[in-house]
């Protein structure tokens, strides 16, 4: 009789993953079609709007990947940290904490340098960036190296109150982590005859199953997934967030992961879940990037209309969500021009049907974008 093995890494065939391609082919074709349409749509908009979209998506990616682990980061700090590192001229930047900068650096390294090999040293750098103080909460941990748990201190994923803990998963012993990771990295960096999106799903499962670090494995696994999806897109610009979608589907994510790690090396069900989640991430982009798409449509409607640089600047300010009343005095101050020039600029836009005068008149006259151009 064959001895029962509780976890897949204990199976003698490990890591010989296999799946039934026929059960995934239709779903894979559908998500690849949606992916292609989204990338084509984004390539059709101006580069500065592509950059805005990337900033929005990467901000969501960092926030939600940390949120999955119960860590709540400041959206303003994350957005500011990303914008500074991408060299983007964005209003309202704020200082960011070391822990925010660390997770941002990891995310950008994974997505902007996706063509480069993933190495042991690179992963150690990501881990050190996640834990700049060398601690996870109150506890000192091994940082920038594989975990080195004692034989009596197993690496387990546990939930529940003290005394009523439930063990969801137990990782390989620490003395074989180096060997396991070498095998994983050799596979990840090699060219295989595997669809690159499927490879992203396999990579995430494989990495979290090894669980090579004392903490931060989930966030690093999602960074590796983003890196492989960037390879699938052949694009460092990010237009969808897998981490944000995993956050929405967190319960099913953990259930699917646990069932797979306690099952066989047939990972068809896991890949089915991953492709479903990936497809949902792609379609969720329409809501996440609604402002970017709105701006793209607005400027498409003005392609044949002559505008000066002050007008372009101020219209973008208005589209970004201008706080307070948008009037000639604020125009003159922001655009660094005279009041008379501001009035002429605004009147020209009103005559062209781009701006609409709001109901209050006199000295409180203010303006908004024509609704017909925002649809």
93 and 74 in contact (C-beta within 8 Å)?
Answer: no
Distance CA 116, CA 122 (A): 10
Cis omega (within 30 of 0) for bond into 15: yes
User: Which candidate in 9, 127, 211, 272 is catalytic?
Assistant: 211
DSSP secondary structure string for all residues of 220-288 = HHHHHHHHHHHHHHT-SS----HHHHHHHTHHHHHHHHHHHHTS-SB-HHHHHHHHHHHHHHHHHHHHH
Is 211 part of the annotated catalytic residue set?
yes
9 and 267 in contact (C-beta within 8 Å)?
Answer: no
77: left (phi over 0), alpha (psi -120 to 50) or beta: alpha
- Cα 235 to its chain centre, rounded Å, is 14
Task: Please state, as a whole number, how many other Cβ atoms lie within 10 Å of the Cβ of residue 136.
Answer: 15
What residues does 18 pair with on adjacent strands?
A: 266
220 labelled ligand-binding: yes
DSSP secondary structure string for all residues of 111-154 = HHTTTSPP-HHHHHHHHHHH-TTSEETTEE---SS-----TTS-
Distance CA 35, CA 197 (A): 10
Distance CA 227, CA 203 (A): 10
Distance CA 333, CA 339 (A): 9
Closest CA to 252 of 271, 277, 285: 277
125 labelled ligand-binding: no
87 labelled ligand-binding: no
217 labelled ligand-binding: yes
Burial of 316 (0-12, 13-18, 19+ CB in 10 A): middle
Q: The tokens of 315 are what?
A: 């219209």
* Cα 77–Cα 290–Cα 43 angle in degrees, nearest 5: 95
222 labelled ligand-binding: yes
253 labelled ligand-binding: yes
Which residues are part of a known binding site for ATP?
215-222, 253-254
Which residues are part of a known binding site?
215-222, 253-254
The catalytic site residues sit at 211
């Amino acid at each position: 009789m064959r001895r029962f093995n509780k976890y897949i890494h204990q199976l003698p065939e490990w890591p010989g993953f296999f799946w039934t391609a026929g059960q995934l082919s239709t779903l894979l074709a559908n998500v690849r079609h949606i992916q292609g349409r989204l990338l084509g749509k984004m390539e059709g908009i101006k580069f500065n709007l592509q950059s805005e979209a990337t900033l929005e998506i990467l901000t969501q990616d960092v926030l939600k990947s940390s949120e999955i682990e119960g860590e709540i980061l400041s959206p303003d700090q994350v957005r500011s940290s990303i914008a500074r590192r991408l060299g983007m001229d964005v209003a309202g930047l704020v200082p960011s904490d070391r822990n925010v900068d660390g997770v941002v650096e990891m995310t950008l390294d994974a997505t902007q340098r996706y063509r480069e090999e993933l190495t042991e040293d690179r992963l150690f750098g990501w881990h050190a960036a996640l834990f700049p103080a060398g601690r996870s909460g109150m506890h000192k941990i091994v940082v920038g190296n594989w975990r080195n748990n004692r034989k009596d201190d197993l690496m387990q994923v546990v939930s529940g109150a003290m005394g009523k803990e439930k063990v969801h998963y137990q990782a390989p012993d620490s003395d074989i982590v180096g060997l396991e990771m070498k095998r994983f990295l050799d596979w990840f960096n090699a060219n295989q005859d595997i669809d690159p999106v499927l490879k992203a799903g396999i990579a995430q499962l494989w990495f979290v199953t090894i669980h090579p670090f004392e903490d931060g494995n989930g966030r690093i696994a999602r960074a590796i997934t983003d890196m492989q999806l960037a390879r699938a897109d052949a694009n460092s610009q990010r237009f969808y967030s897998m981490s944000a979608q995993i956050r929405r589907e967190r319960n099913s994510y953990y259930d699917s992961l646990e069932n797979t790690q306690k099952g066989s090396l047939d990972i068809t069900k896991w890949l089915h879940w991953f492709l479903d989640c990936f497809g949902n991430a792609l379609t969720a982009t329409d809501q996440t990037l609604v402002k970017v798409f709105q701006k793209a449509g607005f400027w498409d409607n003005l392609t044949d209309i002559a505008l000066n640089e002050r007008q372009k600047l101020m219209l973008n300010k208005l589209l970004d969500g201008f706080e307070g009343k948008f009037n000639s005095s604020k125009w003159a101050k922001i655009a660094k021009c005279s009041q008379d020039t501001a009035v002429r600029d605004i009147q020209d836009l009103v005559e062209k049907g781009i701006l609409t005068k709001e109901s209050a008149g006199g000295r409180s006259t203010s303006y908004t974008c024509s609704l017909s151009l925002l649809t």
